[in-house]
Amino acid sequence: MPDLLLRSAPEDAVARLTLHRPERKNALSIALRDEISDALSALAANPEVKIVVLTGSGDTFCAGFDLKEFERASDPEFSRRLWASSDRYHRACLEFPLPLVAAVNGPAIAGGFDLAVMCDLRIAVPETYFSHPEIAFGDVLYSPLHDLAGAAVARDLCLTGRRVDAEEARELRLVSRVVPRAELDDEVARWTAMIARAPREVLLRTKAKAIARARISANGTLDL
């Protein structure tokens, strides 16, 4: 089985995780979610790491959960795996004790939008857009977006599912910068270098304050 998540060794205190299902627009399968959860757990315990960058292979950041797997949700055992994986994945992202930076290299849709929002900072390319089309058929993660952007923006985007392009996302402060694709890595490196000036212990304490302030429910995925 090919690697679903590419991992880079920490360099200048920065580790990088790349979602690697380009043929599926980096859709979050059970296997990929589990790999992300495992990787974040290991990186949290690595004293050489201060920051983790998340990005996607190809021209899409992430198209959300792999909907093909939901076709098997009527199987009780598979459904249990599906939701256990989802709950663990969301906890791993929301409670990651160090800064997460999303290098948003293209569309971030549904659960991909959530993944970007669960990061602490987002740097995007002009081709990026964010949307929650799943409101047409299922639950939307509300709490992380509310914590990031406030009630007005969260209710707008979670209730309508409308598409927000990169420039509007910048105006809404969903992203910190929008840069040409060729400059994305350099811009991310500029931001991570600023963060990395702080001691790891300070970053841990600061992120703990952010997590506590968010007061996001400890319940499962569908309650977030």
Maximum Cα–Cα distance across the chain: 50
Would you tell me how many other CB atoms lie within 10 Å of the CB of residue 197?
10
Amino acid at the residue 64: G
Which residues pair with residue 8 across a beta bridge?
16
Amino acid at the residue 157: L
Query: Rounded CA gap, 55 and 194, in Å?
Result: 19
φ and ψ of 187, to 5 deg: -70, -40
How many residues does the structure list for the chain?
224
Would you tell me how many other CB atoms lie within 10 Å of the CB of residue 191?
19
Query: Could you say which of 11, 134, 167, 183 is catalytic?
Result: 134
CA distances from 33 to 27, 77, 97, 115 (A): 9, 17, 18, 11
Helix/strand/coil for 18: strand
φ and ψ of 208, to 5 deg: -60, -35
β-strands 129-131, 108-109: how paired?
A: parallel
Residue 134 annotated among the catalytic residues of the structure: yes
Any idea which residues carry the catalytic annotation?
Answer: 134
